[in-house]
Structure formats: C-alpha cells, structure tokens
Amino acid sequence: MLLLLLLLLLLGVSALLLKFVTADGDFTLMSRKHVKRDEIEDKVVWITGASRGIGEILAKQLANLGAKLILSARNEAELERVKAQLTGKHAPDGVQILLLDLASGEDSLRQAMEKAESFFGGSGVDIMIHNAASERPITSALDVTEESLKATFDVNVFGTISLTRLLAPFMLRRGRGHFVVISSAAGKAPAPGKAVYSASKFALNGYFHTLRSELFQKGIKVTVVCPGPIKTSNGSGATASTKRSSSEKRVSSERCAELTIIAASHGLKEAWISYQELEKFPGRMHVKLMTSMICLRTGKRPTDVT
C-alpha cells in the first residue's frame, strides 16, 4: 500500500513538473485559467504603444471583452488602422485615439493625461497599460552611446514614470486604479547585447514594485508583466527577425496579450510569460540560474549575484 502511494506521489510530481516545463507562464499565472471579465468590461483602459505588436493585440482582445479603450502612440494613421479593426461592446465607434510621445516632456504628458481623463464623460482611466518601449540595436555594454542611453530611458523610464506620477493622483481621488506594466525578462536577468534596454526594464521593475508597496492600501494595483522571447510582428504583420537561436521556443504575441490580460484581471503582482523553463523560477533562484546559463552560453564566467 505504501509503495502504491509513493508511486502515485511520484507520478503526480512528474506530471506537475511536466506541466511546468511545457507551460508558457509561471505557476501563479497558469493557475488563473481565464480572464475575470467583470474586471475588464466597461472599464476605461489606456494603452500606450497601441499602434502595433503587443499593444495592438491587447487592444483587440480588450475590445472584445467590452473595455472602453484609449489608444496611444505617435503614429495617428496606424492608430486609426487599429481602431477600424476593433470589435466589441464599445468598438470601434467608442474607441478614443490620443497621440502620445513619451519622450515629449512633462507638459505634453500632462496635457495627454488630462485629455484621457476627460474621455467617456470624465469617468477617468481605470487601467493604464504601459506598453510603449524603445529598443535599440544589439550592442555590447561597453559600446553603448550616450544618445542610445538617453533615447531608451526617455521612453522606457522617464516618460513612463512621469505619466504614472501625473495619472496616479486622479486614481487616488477615486480610490481605485490599476497600472499594468509590460516589462521584460531582461529586467530580471542579464541580456547580453541589450544592456541599456535591460537597465531600463530593471529601473521600471524597481519603480513599480515600490509604487505598489506605497499605494496598495489606497486602492491602487500594480501588475508587472515580464515576457521572455515573444514572436512579435513589424508594421506589415510579418514576424520580426532576430538574432536569437532558431531553436528558441517563443510565445505568440496573441498568447502574450491573453496572459497579460489574465494576470491583470486577477490583480497579480507579477507575471512571467515564457517557454524558457529557467525564466519561471522565482526570485533569487531564478536570477542565479539565468545568470549562470547566460554566461555559459556566451562563454563568460558568471559573477556573484546577490
């Protein structure tokens, strides 16, 4: 009898491990199988970087779930294209387009925020999805230019944080609000060739996890989403080319958007989206394992990670 129980336990553990290594998200995310529609329907959702890629797909999926959308990017024609393709309770006629350049400075961001707050009868933004990001060509850490550093941080960090600082007081007055941040696995572990992008995502993670700790008792939620390798598309809809290994398994953009919405609707603090098994280990264990594996791949000796 004891042997049978041990065998069943072993089979159960094996099945769990198999599910883990073949899943496209972390344990907590995978346990939330479906979107909580009532957390999305009729909510005002503002998406930056909505003219293509993950932002465009988020817009389509959220529209189908009945969200009231505000779409932002720098390219008005592309935003109009996305809007025309949306279907849902409030789409496409109820979808608002708001041109936005995150690197344009605080005055411009304040004007955009005030306009966003005025949409839909002045009901205010319920969910802010920070999706816009700048990513530069692959460059070694020592070859990074000041221009590249500034251009990346202006969008990924300074603009995103400034928009958050401007919008948060309105959410606080309403006693509710949710910031969803599309970060990256590169904000948790080394990303050879992408030092500046990685640094910007580390900065975002630090800011928004701290913001949550300060505001969660005041009704403000923060969800940080860390995707690993994703199949993204360029403006024409073709799969974007990369220099990553062709054997690397990637999560589709549609699945990434779906899991992001699931994570947000359940109010998860952080979510990992990736087929790469090591990226789904939590905390310090994950960082140590990822650092060691990356250094082995690049032929460099890992430094101590604390």
Predicted local distance difference test score (pLDDT) of residue 293: 45
Distances in whole angstroms, Cα of residue 294 to Cα of each of 203, 297, 305: 21, 5, 13
Predicted local distance difference test score (pLDDT) of residue 289: 47
Percent of the chain with pLDDT over 90: 68
Q: Which residues are annotated as catalytic? A: 197
Task: Kindly report, residue by residue over 180-231, the tens digit of the pLDDT.
Answer: 999 999 998 888 999 999 999 999 999 999 999 999 999 999 999 999 988 8
Q: How many CA atoms, within 13 angstroms, populate the side-chain half-sphere of residue 199?
A: 16
Residue 97 has a CB neighbour count (10 Å cut-off) of 17
Segment 82-106 shows an average pLDDT of 96
pTM of the complete model: 0.84
Domain boundary assignment for the chain: 25-234+247-280
pLDDT of 240 strictly over 70? no
pLDDT of 279 strictly over 80? no
- What confidence tier does 43 reach under pLDDT thresholds 50, 70, 90? very high
CATH node for 25-234+247-280: 3.40.50.720
Whole-number Å distance between alpha carbons of 294 and 190: 7
Instruction: Considering only residues 226 and 277, tell me which one the structure prediction assigns the higher pLDDT.
Output: 226
Segment 109-116 shows an average pLDDT of 98
- What confidence tier does 7 reach under pLDDT thresholds 50, 70, 90? low
Distances in whole angstroms, Cα of residue 261 to Cα of each of 28, 88, 106: 14, 16, 28
- What confidence tier does 290 reach under pLDDT thresholds 50, 70, 90? very low
Instruction: Considering only residues 4 and 120, tell me which one the structure prediction assigns the higher pLDDT.
Output: 120
